Amino acid sequence: MTFQTEGFRDWKNAVGEKRGIISNHEKTPGHMTASTLAENFLSVTKGQMENIQSVISKTYSDKVEKNRKTLLSILDVVINLGQRNVAFRGNWKGDSEDGNFIHFIQWKSHFDDVLSQHLETAPGNAKYLSPIFQNEMISCCGDEIRDFIVRRIQKSKYFSVLADETADISGTEQLSICIRYVSESDNFEIHEDFLGFCPLLKQDSESITKAIIEQLSKWGLHVSLLRGQGYDGASNMSGRLSGVQKRIQEVQPRALYTHCRSHALNLVVVHGCTDVPIVRNTMTLIEKVAVFFSAGTRKHKLQDILQEQGSDDGPRGIPLMSDTRWGSRIKTVSAFISKLEPTHSALQEIESDCTRNSEKASRLRNSIESFDTIITSVVTQNVLGYIWPLTLKLQSPNVDKVQVPTKKEDKWQKSLRAFAMMRKDSAKYINKQCSWQTPLMLHL
């Protein structure tokens, strides 16, 4: 194989149509392949052709770009469901609408070609739609949001921590942590941002303190820059000797503790209402009525009467009371008063049905016909009505205790003045409230 495996020295026969070795070699497959490879090499070196590595890389880049577009399309559904607080999953049956997430993915694929092609061609274990993947996407979104908030806090430098214990639906104890800070980039606006939950193995002050400090450090917030603490009045949180606030002050003395003012106001209302027997008994009665009409045929009975009488405004029925927030009970008391006549009619009908609930309905009907119940309900509604705006104001994330006293036209200050006037002339106020309730009491 001349020019391939053997050398060449027969120059007299090098050229020629018949015996020309060079001419004949040019027609061999080996020479033609080598010529093609040489031409390709020269084209690559001159930039006229992409090399094989670039071709492979481009194929890989196209695949990566396609996967990114697919993930962004799926992420768009995750973000929109999260922004609207919509549950992702439904039941575990393999039907066509297995939860909101799958439903909206299918809906979006009708006009998203990338997502549609992915759903049609991707193998079953690489569709990125499983509950595990959904949780990972949610977690990534949460991390991204938290990182953004932390960067803004770090830019503001100093911050305060707000924490409260709570239990999820499974009964697992956890600590919710919020950060309060002033954002210079937002014209020195006050922000209160939720950063996340921290699991609690124990509920003693030492464990909670350790959890707060470790969680802040994990998120990149140094305790050395902590300037405030805000908790409720529970002894394990507010204790002066060994509470969470005291333990954190031992680490950072400049982190001053403030008892949540909304919680303090709630305690005042709780003690004020529970110390007055007639108010305590009336609230207990209203709660029993709300529970009685909270489920089953009794709930539908009340709703039917409300529709017949044209009184079905506001909440459907009577909402249940909050055990810890007395200020929020204004909604239940207001609903009870506005729906007193339909409620009375529903109790009468249930009483006449001669069922197992008839006796209880009879007792409740007799109780709500009481003069003391009606008047106490009206007075309590108005008292809580004056307190509720202040409660909401104290819970506002951007409330400023330096500026609030100077805002003379604030609604809550007007409410306080009206409440003071009501207390000053209580007899006249009660007579006024009784006047519009007299026809209803005569009807009952």
Task: Tell whether 394 is covered by a domain.
Answer: yes
Q: pLDDT tens across 345-372, in order?
A: 888 888 887 777 788 888 888 888 888 8
Q: For 187-209, what is the mean pLDDT?
A: 88
Residues 6+ apart with CB under 8 A from 79: 141
Mean per-residue pLDDT, 134-156: 92
Give residue 373's pLDDT: 86
Cα Rg of the chain, angstroms: 37
CA distances for 244 relative to 2, 205, 310, 317, 377, angstroms: 92, 5, 53, 42, 39
Structural domain count of the chain? 4
pLDDT the model gives residue 33: 83
| In the chain, % of residues over pLDDT 90 | 20
Q: What angle do CA 163, 167, 172 make, to 5 degrees?
A: 115
**In sequence order, what are the beta bridge partners of 63?**
none
Q: Are residues 245 and 349 both part of a single domain? A: no
What local confidence, expressed as pLDDT, does residue 149 receive?
A: 93
**Does 252 map to a domain?**
yes
How many Cα atoms occupy the beta-carbon half-sphere of 326 within 13 Å? 22
CB 134 within 8 A of CB 101: yes
Q: What is the pLDDT of residue 337?
A: 85
Helix (H) or strand (E) holding 351: helix 340-352
Residue 6 within any structural domain of the chain = no
Give domain status of residue 3, yes or no. no
Give the C-alpha separation, 422 to 428, whole Å.
8
Tell whether the model's pLDDT for residue 439 goes beyond 60.
no
Q: Which of 107, 129, 151 is the last residue of a domain?
A: 129
Q: Which residues contact 196 (CB under 8 A, 6 or more apart)?
A: 142, 146, 176, 177, 215, 219
Instruction: Look at residue 398 in the predicted model and tell me its pLDDT.
Output: 65
Evaluate the CA torsion angle 10, 11, 15, 16 in order and state its sign: negative
Let me know how long the chain is: 444
Tell me, yes or no, whether 371 and 391 share the same domain. yes
pLDDT digits (tens, 9 = 90+) for 47-58: 776 666 666 666
Q: Are residues 86 and 110 in the same domain?
A: yes
Residue 371 lies in a domain: yes
Mean pLDDT of the chain: 79
What's the pLDDT score for residue 35? Answer: 82
Query: Is-contact 263 232, C-beta < 8 A?
Result: yes
293-317 CB burial, b ≥16 within 10 A, e <16: beeeebbebbbebbeeeeebeeeeb
Shared domain for 31 and 84, answered yes or no, is no
Give per-residue pLDDT as tens, 36-94: 888 777 777 777 766 666 666 667 777 888 888 999 999 999 999 998 888 887 655 55
pLDDT band at 312 (very low <50, low <70, confident <90, very high): low
Residue for token digits 């924490």? 163
In the three-class reduction of DSSP (H, G, I as helix; E, B as strand; rest coil), residue 288 is classed as helix
pLDDT for 411 beyond 70 = no
Q: What is the pLDDT of residue 225?
A: 94
Out of 102, 129, 156, pick the residue that ends a domain: 129
Domain that residue 151 falls in: 139-259
| Least confidently predicted of 87-96, 124-133, 196-205, 247-256 | 87-96
Task: Using CA atoms of 342, 347, 350, 355 in order, give the dihedral in degrees to the nearest 10.
Answer: 160
CB-CB contact of 266 with 325 (8 Å): yes
The answer to whether residues 276 and 213 belong to one domain is no
Least confident of 85-89, 222-226, 310-314, 345-349: 310-314
Q: How far is Cα 302 from Cα 346, in angstroms, rounded to an integer?
A: 6
The confidence score (pLDDT) of residue 351 equals: 81
What is the C-alpha separation between 172 and 185, in angstroms, rounded?
38
Tell me what the mean pLDDT of segment 183-199 comes to: 85
**185 and 299: one domain?**
no
Q: CA 1, CA 264: separation in Å to the nearest integer?
A: 101
Q: Is residue 2 part of a domain?
A: no
Alpha-carbon distance of 430 to 380, in angstroms, equals: 11
Same domain, 206 and 94: no
Do both 210 and 148 map to the same domain? yes
In this predicted structure, what is the pLDDT of residue 180?
93
Lowest mean pLDDT, pick from 77-91, 221-235, 241-255: 77-91
In a domain, 1, yes or no: no
Domain membership of residue 109 (yes or no) is: yes
At which residue do the structure tokens 């031992």 appear?
Answer: 250
Q: How many CA atoms lie within 13 A of 168 on its CB side?
A: 9
Regarding whether 293 and 190 lie in a shared domain, the answer is no
Q: To the nearest whole percent, how much of the chain has pLDDT over 70?
A: 76
Burial letters 185-210, b for 16+ CB under 10 A, else e: eeeeeebbbebbebebeeeebeebbe
Q: Bridge-partner residues for 40, per DSSP?
A: none
Return d(Cα 121, Cα 143) in angstroms, integer: 31
Using CA atoms, how far residue 382 sits from 264, 311, 333, 334, 416, in Å, is 20, 21, 10, 9, 12
Residues 22 and 69 in one domain: no
Helices (H), 157-276: 205-218, 235-238, 244-251, 261-274
